[in-house]
């Protein structure tokens, strides 16, 4: 409710002037009870205050103060105090009788007293205005941060969604190929795939997962892949988890997938895949190396969407806290991710 | 105090004018006092039933007001003595507010016999507009009933106290002057006919 009033300028001004009217009515009234003449007197007094307050609010502040013309603003502000007090005198000496001819109203205040009242009102309303501006700026800043966060979340979700179909498609193909070859292995593969899918459905929704969960996922995936590979492919998964730290889900998986996608063929001599993972209090090191598929001389994976997705995710999730490099030579492709540990 | 206030009001009403407004504060500031030497003399109304003896005075007369405020310049201070059925003396100050001259009356002749009465004495002022033209003196009193009705109906914003139907203005001098100056041309605030006195040598 209070926030709504603060955000509604007209309501805020109404509250301010009603409060001011109430306080001034108590101060200016001669008797303990209030009569019509007291309401009129206070109303006229408040009106005489409102005019310079709004001149300051709508002219001086935007045209001078906001444009950093501090000296001119100060001079105009002081002049406004004097003019405001003069306006009050003009109102009570010359105008009030035309508006309320049945009443005899005189101003009970000397010019010096009026100057003080106008000074207090103009200073306090200026401070209120500036405070509200500051509040709006902070609100806008936090809204921008929220929007940015939301944008990132949407982009990440889209990246994850982009990953999922690839993942599923490749592994279903693997299971499919196993069903005919070895039903026992196919059964195990389905269990492994179901573990992988469970991870992808539940864990992937979290911002971070434990690195041991990610290790389990890679192991499942590698076992699944081992079942479908024909020939003698050397697959090494070497990990040393000294601290079970947290990591964004599925960050390393595309690189593991890529090893199989691009590096396994019977045409290669001594094909190999080496995946290494190390984590301690300070850093997470991940590397994926695979021998190249020489049957695909035009392999363009250095500019592929998989690597681009990894890069984008790293930039969003670990800005200034990561290193992602990959090298492609004649025989191997080697990608490395180093992340500053978030513990 | 109540009795003396009533007494003062009655004297003021019967001797000075047909009615008058009592005020706690005077309508003058010391610096604003003016002096008209032509006011001195003996003045009579047309039937010669009433007379006023007016002269510059010294500080020998004793009032609480005088004790408090001894710095008045003697030449700007009058002593007016009214002769009617009763006799009463007033210390009088003259001041110009707006386009007109006004007199501020303060009772002078209450010389109390005991200290308690003096402590209880409640000093009030009364005002009127004055216009002298040679040996002609017009005293234009404020319309007490009209001003009282304005205050009772809350149509006039001024500090006051009402006691047993008697109105006592409590407003400071500045407010009284502002009121007189602002509404000096409002005929409702003054009695229809001024009292006219003629000087006889």
The H or E element that residue B5 is part of is helix B2-11
Q: Which candidate, B156, B155, B147, B149, places its Cα nearest to that of B127?
A: B147
Residue range B145-159: mean pLDDT, rounded: 90
| Cβ within 8 Å of residue B30, ≥6 positions away | B69, B71, B72
User: Computed from CA positions of residues A96, A102, A104, A105, in that sequence, does the dihedral angle turn out positive or negative?
Assistant: negative
A108 and B175 in contact by Cβ < 8 A?
Answer: yes
Q: Which of A35, A106, A108 is nearest residue B154 as measured by Cβ atoms?
A: A35
A37/B179 CB distance under 8 A: no
Q: What does the H/E/C string look like for chain A?
A: CHHHHHHCHHHHHHHHHHHHHHHHHHHHCCCCCCCHHHHHHHHHHHHHHHHHHHHHHHHHHHHHHCCCCHHHHHHHHHHHHHHHHHHHHHHHHHHHHHHCCCCECCCCCCHHHHHHHHHHHHHHHHHHHHHHHHHHHHHHHHHHHHHHHHHHHHHHHHHHHHHHHHHHHHHHHHHHHHHHHCHHHHHHHHHHHHHHHHHHHHHHHCCCEEHHHHHHHHHHHHHHHHHHCCCCCEEEEEEEECCCCEECCCCCHHHHHHHHHHHCCCCCCCCEEEEEEEECCCEEEEEEEEECCCCCCCCCHHHCHHHHHHHHHHHHHCCCCEEEEEEECCCEEEEEEEEECCC
Size of interface A-B (CB pairs under 8 A): 35
User: In this prediction, does ipTM exceed 0.85?
Assistant: no
CATH number of A148-340: 3.30.565.10
The confidence score (pLDDT) of residue A263 equals 67
In terms of phi and psi (left: phi > 0; alpha: psi -120 to 50; beta: otherwise), the region of B56 is beta
How far apart are the C-alpha atoms of A200 and A162, rounded to whole Å?
12
> Which H/E stretch holds residue B178?
helix B173-182
What the block records as the tokens of A161 is 């969604």
CA separation for the pair A185, A173 (Å, rounded): 14
Contact (Cβ atoms closer than 8 angstroms) between residue B125 and residue B25: yes
Quick one: how far is CA A196 from the chain centroid? Answer: 31
Contact assignment for A104 to B157 by CB distance below 8 Å? yes
Q: How far apart are CA A164 and CA A218, in angstroms?
A: 15
**Interior angle at CA A249, CA A247 and CA A252, nearest 5:** 85
Distance, in Å, from the CA atom of B100 to the CA atom of B184, rounded to the nearest integer, reads 8
Nearest CA in chain B to A32: B159
Chain B residues close to A35, C-beta within 8 Å: 154
A39 and chain B in contact, CB less than 8 A: no
Q: Which of residues 103-142 of A touch B (CB under 8 A)?
A: 103-108, 110
Taking CB atoms and an 8 Å limit, are B157 and A36 in contact across chains?
no
- Token readout for A136 is 């709006």
Structure tokens at A263: 């590096």
Instruction: For B172, list phi and psi in degrees, rounded to 5.
Output: -70, 165
Q: Is B156 on the interface with A (CB under 8 A)?
A: yes
Which A positions 68-107 lie with beta carbon below 8 A of chain B?
A: 93, 102-107
Look at A106 and B179 and tell me if their CB atoms are within 8 Å.
Answer: yes
Residues of chain B contacting residue A102, judged by C-beta atoms under 8 Å apart: 155
Nearest to A251 by CA among A214, A203, A212, A302: A214
**CA distance linking residue A246 with residue A210, whole number of Å:** 4
In chain A, what residues touch B150 (CB-CB under 8 Å)?
104
Closest-CA residue of chain A to B179 = A106
Q: If you average pLDDT over residues B151-168, what whole number do you get?
A: 85
Note whether A276 and A256 are within 8 A (CB): no
- CA of A4 to nearest chain B CA: how many angstroms apart? 40
Please check whether residue B56 is in contact with residue B38, taking contact to mean a CB–CB distance below 8 angstroms: no
With 0-12 / 13-18 / 19 or more C-beta atoms within 10 angstroms meaning exposed / middle / buried, residue A288 is buried
Main-chain phi, psi angles of A173, to 5 degrees: -60, -40
Q: Do B175 and A106 touch (CB under 8 A)?
A: yes
Tally of residues, chain B? 201
**Would you state the pLDDT for residue A100?**
93
CB B87 within 8 Å of CB B174: no
Partner-chain residue, chosen from A37, A41, A106, that has the shortest CB–CB distance to B182: A106
How confident is the model over B83-134, as pLDDT tens digits? Answer: 777 777 888 888 999 999 999 988 875 555 555 555 556 678 888 999 999 8
Domain residues of chain A, as ranges?
2-109, 148-340
| Separation in Å, CA of B140 to nearest CA in chain A | 20
**Tens digit of each residue's pLDDT, chain A (343 residues):** 666 666 678 888 999 999 999 999 999 888 888 999 999 999 999 999 999 999 999 999 999 999 999 999 999 999 999 999 999 999 999 899 999 999 999 988 889 999 999 999 999 999 999 998 898 899 899 989 988 887 777 666 655 655 557 667 777 887 787 788 778 888 888 888 888 888 877 877 788 899 999 999 999 888 888 876 766 788 899 999 998 899 988 888 888 888 887 766 656 677 889 999 999 888 999 999 988 876 665 555 555 667 887 888 888 888 889 999 999 888 889 999 999 975 4
> In this complex, which of A103, A107, A108 lies closest to B155 when CB atoms are compared?
A103
Q: Burial level of A12, CB count in 10 A (0-12/13-18/19+)? A: middle
Phi, psi of B6 (to 5 degrees): -65, -45
Flag whether residue B184 sits within 8 Å of chain A, measured between CB atoms.
no
Alpha-carbon gap, residue A149 to A290, rounded angstroms = 36
CB B141 within 8 A of CB B20: yes
**Distance (Å, whole) CA A45 – CA A114:** 10
* pTM greater than the 0.80 cutoff: no
pLDDT of residue B15 exceeding 50: no
- Residue B123 distance to chain A (closest CA, Å): 22
Residue reference for tokens 């002078």:
B108
Dmax over CA atoms of chain A, in Å, equals 112
């Amino acid at each position: 409710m209070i926030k709504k009033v603060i955000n509604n300028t007209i309501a805020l001004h109404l509250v301010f002037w009603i409060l001011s009217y109430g306080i001034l009515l108590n101060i200016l009234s001669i008797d303990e009870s209030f009569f019509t003449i007291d309401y009129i007197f206070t109303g006229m007094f408040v009106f005489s205050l409102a005019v310079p307050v709004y001149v300051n609010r709508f002219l001086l502040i935007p045209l001078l103060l906001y444009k950093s013309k501090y000296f001119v603003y100060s001079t105009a502000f002081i002049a406004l105090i004097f003019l405001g007090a003069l306006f009050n005198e003009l109102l009570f000496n010359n105008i009030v009788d035309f508006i309320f001819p049945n009443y005899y109203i005189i101003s009970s205040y000397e010019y010096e007293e009026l100057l003080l009242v106008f000074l207090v009102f103009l200073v306090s309303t200026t401070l209120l205005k500036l405070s509200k501006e500051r509040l709006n700026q902070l609100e806008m800043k936090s809204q921008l941060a929220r929007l940015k966060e939301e944008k990132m979340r949407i982009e990440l979700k889209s990246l994850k969604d982009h990953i999922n179909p690839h993942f599923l498609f490749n592994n279903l193909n693997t299971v499919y190929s196993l069903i005919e070859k070895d039903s026992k292995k196919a059964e195990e593969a389905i269990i492994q795939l179901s573990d992988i899918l469970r991870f992808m459905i539940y864990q992937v929704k979290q911002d971070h997962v434990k690195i041991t969960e990610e290790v389990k996922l890679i192991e499942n995936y590698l076992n699944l892949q081992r079942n479908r590979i024909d020939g003698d492919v050397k697959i090494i998964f070497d990990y040393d988890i000294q601290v079970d730290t947290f990591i964004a889900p599925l960050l390393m998986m595309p690189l593991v997938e890529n090893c199989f996608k691009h590096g396994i063929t019977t045409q290669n001599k001594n094909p190999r895949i080496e995946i290494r993972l190390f984590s301690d209090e300070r850093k997470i090191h991940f590397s994926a190396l695979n021998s190249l598929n020489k049957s695909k001389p035009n392999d363009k994976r250095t500019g592929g969407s998989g690597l681009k997705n990894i890069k984008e995710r790293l930039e969003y999730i670990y800005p200034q806290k990561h290193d992602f490099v990959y090298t492609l030579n004649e025989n191997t492709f080697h990608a490395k991710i180093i992340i500053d540990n978030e513990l | 105090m109540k009795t003396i206030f009533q007494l003062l009001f009655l004297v003021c009403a019967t001797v000075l004018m047909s009615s008058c407004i009592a005020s706690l504060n005077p309508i003058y500031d010391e610096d604003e006092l003016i002096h008209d030497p032509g006011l001195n003399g003996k003045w009579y109304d047309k039937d010669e039933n009433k007379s006023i003896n007016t002269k510059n005075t010294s500080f020998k007369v004793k009032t609480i007001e005088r004790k408090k405020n001894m710095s008045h310049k003697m030449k700007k201070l009058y002593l007016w003595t009214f002769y009617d059925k009763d006799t009463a003396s007033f210390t009088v100050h003259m001041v110009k507010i707006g386009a007109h001259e006004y007199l501020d009356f303060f009772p002078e002749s209450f010389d109390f016999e005991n200290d308690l009465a003096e402590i209880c004495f409640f000093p009030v002022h009364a005002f009127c507009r004055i216009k002298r033209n040679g040996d002609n003196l017009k005293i234009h009193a404020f319309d007490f009933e009209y001003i009282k009705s304005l205050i009772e109906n809350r149509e006039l914003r001024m500090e006051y106290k009402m006691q047993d139907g008697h109105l006592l203005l409590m407003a400071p001098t500045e407010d009284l002057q502002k009121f007189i100056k602002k509404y000096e041309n409002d005929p409702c605030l003054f009695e229809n006919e001024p009292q006219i006195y003629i000087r006889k040598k």
